[in-house]
Structure 1
Amino acid sequence: MTPDIALSRRNFMRTLGVASFAAASFPALAATQQTPAASGPGAHRGMSDMGEMRQLPPDTVIISSNENPLGPAQSALSAICSTASLGGRYHSEETMKTVMAFNEIYGLKRGYSALFPGSGGPLDLALMSNIGPDKPLVYGDPSYEQGPRAAETMNAPKFPVKLTSTYAHDVKAMLAATPTAGAYYIVNPNNPTGTMTPREDILWLLKNKPKGSVVIVDEAYHHFSDHESVIDQVAADQDLIVMRTFSKIYGMAGLRAGFAVARPDLLMKFTSVAPPARTLASISITSAAGARASLQDKDLVPLRKKINADIRSETLEFLTKKGYKVLPGSQANFFMVDVNRPGHDFHDAMMKENVAIGRSWAAMPNYVRVTVGTKAEMQKFQTAFVKCMDTPPGTVNGAASLHLPQFHVPSELYRG
């Protein structure tokens, strides 16, 4: 039996969207959002001693949470505006149209995809419906923390597996980690390294994994990469769940839209995670319309992919020429750089320069993750980065870092 999912002040209710072409809603899921031990700046750093959030100064460069600074495409904005007037109705047709468009693009049969308000909720469902006390979770280390957080919620044994020398998921070591895995979680491109796990490695894992287990591939950043998706393996009825979001390349992080792609029986298992809620929720018609317009905008992905790659390349070239150590191989809208000191200390130093960068991971404590912003934002980042690297560790402009005001720094970790 699925354990009850406790709520606390740090929890938030994740409501779920339509699970099929027929627009049948899943029960709302109360998902525990525990603070990860390796969150760098950490949840507590977002709070002042009085408990309220201190917002960042208005001129702060925010390159901390892998958002797209370009925002929604014009095609999406037009669709949102034209659909908003229908907001007085429970308009499931917009959701059905978006699901149909997604299925057509990826060659999926009816019932093989589910549209949600964001991708965090369905990712929890994908994880939690396949793990438990006797069904461990196997995942890469470092990688996105939502996997191990879900395992903690479900009292599932956790098996972190070190990445390979090229920072890919080591699928053979993952398979060898335990003979009773319920799920293997692969983030591709990986967060925080931005690196890719080859498609053939994922296919090998699908072929050799234990019967009854599933492979969950989180493709949140896939559109930034040069690699082929594994969604076609869902169409081939493999034991696979693929996650997609509109928060990244599509620039819709605040509008909340995402897909879970899997066989109908795996999607139906999502309903086993939490007891029925009093209310059912679905994606808003405006977000569904914006998502569909983004999917059908043929110029959007290649254009934004190039913009991101060009700015990322320019930034990494600058850092490399300055002699800084950058983790190689990123195919995402972020990268990692070695700051030769605890990452959270360097984060504080950068905050003093009004540049909010990402957090660190326990497996790589002296690296920080940096989101690729606009060209102007990355120029400001470069200036601040050099200045902070030239500042002795443990100080912020000569003052102890503990005196730095505590600001709320945006992080995708708490946005789902």
Structure 2
Amino acid sequence: MSSSIHTGVSRRSFMRILGAASAAATSFPALAAVQQAAGAPAQGPGASRGFGGAAGMTRNLNRDTVIISSNENPLGPAQSALSAIGETAPLGGRYHQEETMKTVAVFNDLFGLKPGYVALTPGSGGPLDLALMSNIGPDKPLVYGDPSYEQGFRAAETMKAPKVPVPLNAAFAHDVKAMVKAHPSPGAYYIVNPNNPTGTITPREDILWLLANKPAGSVVIVDEAYHHFSEQDSVIDQVAADKDIIVLRTFSKIYGMAGLRAGVAVARPDLLAKFTTVAAPARSLASISITSSAAARASLQDKELVPLRRKINADVRAETLEFLEKHNYKVLPGSQANFFMIDVKRPGRDFQAAMIKENIAIGRSWPAMPNYVRVTVGTKQEMAKFQTAFVKCMDTAPGTVNGASLFMPEYHVPSELYRG
């Protein structure tokens, strides 16, 4: 085997990228700050020791609780992925780096990418931090939509980079023209598409406009974690065209692999190489497991998986929204993701507390929209239970349940903020 792996990055450099991605997930203050900001104590009754302490507290939820808070996929991995895991697991006694190379080659073929443009990683949270942190700093601000996924501004806080939030436009898409006007020389623009928490789409042509009109030296970072739930074309082709863009993908959402940890960072080799300037390689979790790599590859090759799951999600989402709108509840329009936002006409934190008492764990609210909560689309049965609990809680006078109780350890609610 050549010392140059299939991606075109040297094996040592590639492993450094993977290691740095894992290090970001475990060592950066930004990720620790997320837990504190969410109100989840680092230790407490039911908390696991060491890495992933906050996630360990989720086991204190009632086992009958419907968890529609963290944008996971209740369907789990596809059968094609499970079969690939079973076939690959017996090889687990050796490193088998060629497994990673084969998965990267499949991804390259799908998007017409040259070697060296893809890093396969254990999840997308670490690589997202690296993409952000390697391009921002005290003299390189971060421009991002508001509201949007919090990892952007938390990375800016860690890097002491000026934060430049720009309100979403009337369609709840990123206002790219306003983003360009917001600062003359930012280090990076961060776009989540579909956006989290609104589920809304920023049109591809708007992102292309941003790439064409942004200041020289800045980078556009596009988080496509929920891309497969929409009908919009990806912007990965702009990476193939050598533009100043980094695209993050995850297998946690439509592919149902949140617990298996697989993601990709797609960018020019020079932008991927910058990841290694942020943190030293991790000694553990330095690469994706061969079973996760095989599951990711099988999922990419499963031609029926994405359209089928997109339809399942769209159908359940439409049924749920139809129910809510029929009862005159105000839903934020335009979601093309596996979640939506709804106005509960009171602080979202209080409404979360009321719902958890009905054994329904829903998502959080955002400072820009404090009376809206985000709800993940679960199974049809789960959403039926959600509907019953939602009506009951909306019929309960605001303030009846103390929202602070939600964040006691025994009521810790899972969130994609812990995705790693």
| TM-score after normalising by structure 1 | 0.91
Amino acid at match of 2:40: H
Change (3 A) 1:401 1:187: closer
Structure-2 residue corresponding to 1:86: 91
Q: Of 345, 352, 360, which aligns to 2:365?
A: 360
Amino acid at match of 2:415: S
Task: Establish whether residue 35 from structure 1 lines up as the match of residue 33 from structure 2.
Answer: yes
Matches within 5 A, 1:187-202: 187-202=192-207
State the Cα deviation string for residues 64-105 of structure 1 (Å, max 9, x = none).
000000000000000001100000001101100000000000
Work out the CA distance in 2 between the residues paired with 1:375 and 1:210. Answer: 46
SS in 1 for 2:366: coil
SS in 2 for 1:35: helix
Runs of 4+ in structure 1 off by over 6 angstroms are 49-52
Task: Establish whether residue 288 from structure 1 lines up as the match of residue 293 from structure 2.
Answer: yes
Count of paired positions: 394
Change (3 A) 1:51 1:99: closer
Matches within 5 A, 1:124-203: 124-203=129-208
Task: Establish whether residue 409 from structure 1 lines up as the match of residue 413 from structure 2.
Answer: yes
State the Cα deviation string for residues 135-159 of structure 1 (Å, max 9, x = none).
0000000000000111111111100
Structure-1 residue corresponding to 2:391: 386
1:322 Cα offset (Å): 0.2
Work out the CA distance in 2 between the residues paired with 1:172 and 1:38. Answer: 34
Compare the two structures and name the one with the higher helix fraction: 2
SS in 2 for 1:197: coil
Work out the CA distance in 2 between the residues paired with 1:141 and 1:37. Answer: 20
SS in 2 for 1:166: coil
State the Cα deviation string for residues 219-275 of structure 1 (Å, max 9, x = none).
000000011110001000000000000000000000000000001111111111113
Change (3 A) 1:205 1:403: closer
Does the 8 Å contact 2:119/2:266 carry over to 1?
Answer: yes
- What runs of 5+ residues in structure 2 fail to find an aligned partner? 1-5, 49-56
Task: Establish whether residue 231 from structure 1 lines up as the match of residue 231 from structure 2.
Answer: no
Matches within 5 A, 1:306-385: 306-385=311-390
Amino acid at match of 1:322: H
1:276 Cα offset (Å): 4.8
Does the 8 Å contact 1:125/1:270 carry over to 2?
Answer: yes
Work out the CA distance in 1 between the residues paired with 2:190 and 2:403. Answer: 36
Does the 8 Å contact 1:189/1:222 carry over to 2?
Answer: yes
SS in 1 for 2:309: helix
State the Cα deviation string for residues 186-208 of structure 1 (Å, max 9, x = none).
00000000000011110111011
Structure-1 residue corresponding to 2:3: none
Task: Establish whether residue 250 from structure 1 lines up as the match of residue 255 from structure 2.
Answer: yes
Work out the CA distance in 1 between the residues paired with 2:373 and 2:8. Answer: 39
Identity of matched residues, %: 74
State the Cα deviation string for residues 156-178 of structure 1 (Å, max 9, x = none).
11000000000000001111111
Structure-1 residue corresponding to 2:212: 207
Of residues 341-350 and 20-29 in structure 1, the stretch that sits farther from structure 2 once superposed is 20-29
1:36 Cα offset (Å): 4.8
1:407 Cα offset (Å): 1.2
Work out the CA distance in 2 between the residues paired with 1:87 and 1:238. Answer: 38
1:180 Cα offset (Å): 1.4
Change (3 A) 1:233 1:402: closer
Task: Establish whether residue 263 from structure 1 lines up as the match of residue 268 from structure 2.
Answer: yes
Does the 8 Å contact 1:38/1:360 carry over to 2?
Answer: no
Structure-2 residue corresponding to 1:60: 65
Task: Establish whether residue 97 from structure 1 lines up as the match of residue 87 from structure 2.
Answer: no
Does the 8 Å contact 2:193/2:227 carry over to 1?
Answer: yes
Task: Establish whether residue 395 from structure 1 lines up as the match of residue 404 from structure 2.
Answer: no
Change (3 A) 1:402 1:289: closer
Does the 8 Å contact 1:308/1:333 carry over to 2?
Answer: yes
Amino acid at match of 2:33: T
Work out the CA distance in 1 between the residues paired with 2:283 and 2:100. Answer: 22
